[in-house]
Structure 1
Amino acid sequence: MTTLTENNRAGDFLLSEANGTYSRENEILAAGNNLQAGAVLGRVTASGKLTALDPAAETGAEDAAGILLATTHATTDVAVVAVERDAEVKADQLVWPAGISTNDKNAAIAQLAALGIVLR
């Protein structure tokens, strides 16, 4: 029997968010990112573009800036929607970088909390 794996769907990680679209922002995801919905994002300071969170970076991408709303394959820079403030999210549905340390993950959770994004 064939086993199928379903990826995260857009917004599955959300428990609640602010009225309207206050929690969301239209952003640009930098080329080269192949990310699932729920991926924790960082922002490259020089370009202002979002990218996968990278705790080892020294570009701004080491700080959590939001969560990707929908799965996106960015072969070039692409417009996306990110949850960037005032939301409750399912902690077990967030997508973290492979091999992230507990300390780096806790730091990113604190950065999300500072944006009003609470993990449940």
Structure 2
Amino acid sequence: MTTLVEGKHAGHFLVWEAFRDYTRETITIASGTLEPGTVLGKITASGKYAAFAPAATNGTETAVAVLWGRADASGGDAPAVAVVRGPAVVNRHDLVFAGTPSGPEIAAAHADLLAVGILVR
């Protein structure tokens, strides 16, 4: 019997949001191939988004959004949709972090998201 494995779906991490037209925006991903639910930081110099990187000093060290669907910016900037503000509730187990952030770095990202109204449960 064949075993089927279902991948991540757009918005799978979302538990609740007030109004999708308020909490989501079209953004620009600067680099990388990112999965739905990836925690994002905003590059200060360009206003573009990239995966949250706690050791960075370009703005992506602060979590500010969660990627809605898959985005492929491996060949250059790519448009995407992200939850950028609350009120919204997301499932902590469905969030994707690039690299291997430590427990305290993940906790800090959760606090950063709460600051923009995205509650991690």
Tell me the TM-score normalised to structure 2 length.
Answer: 0.92
| Offset at residue 4 of structure 1 (A) | 4.3
CA contact 2:71–2:79 (8 Å) conserved in 1:
no
Decide which moves more: 37-46 or 72-81.
72-81
CA-to-aligned-CA distance 1:60-83 (integer Å, 9 cap, x gap): 011001000001111210111110
Instruction: Provide the secondary structure at the position in 2 that maps to 1:46.
Output: coil
Number of aligned pairs? 119
| Offset at residue 19 of structure 1 (A) | 1.8
CA–CA separation in structure 1 for the residues paired with 2:17 and 2:54:
26
Structure 1 unmatched runs, 5+: none
CA contact 1:40–1:94 (8 Å) conserved in 2:
yes
CA–CA separation in structure 1 for the residues paired with 2:21 and 2:98:
27
Tell me the TM-score normalised to structure 1 length.
Answer: 0.92
Q: 1:20 to 1:101 in 2, by over 3 A?
A: closer
Letter of the aligned partner of 2:8 in structure 1?
Answer: N
Q: Identity percentage over the alignment?
A: 44
| Offset at residue 7 of structure 1 (A) | 2.2
The aligned residue for residue 96 of structure 1 is 97
Letter of the aligned partner of 2:42 in structure 1?
Answer: R
Instruction: Provide the secondary structure at the position in 2 that maps to 1:21.
Output: helix
CA contact 2:62–2:109 (8 Å) conserved in 1:
yes
CA contact 1:7–1:36 (8 Å) conserved in 2:
no
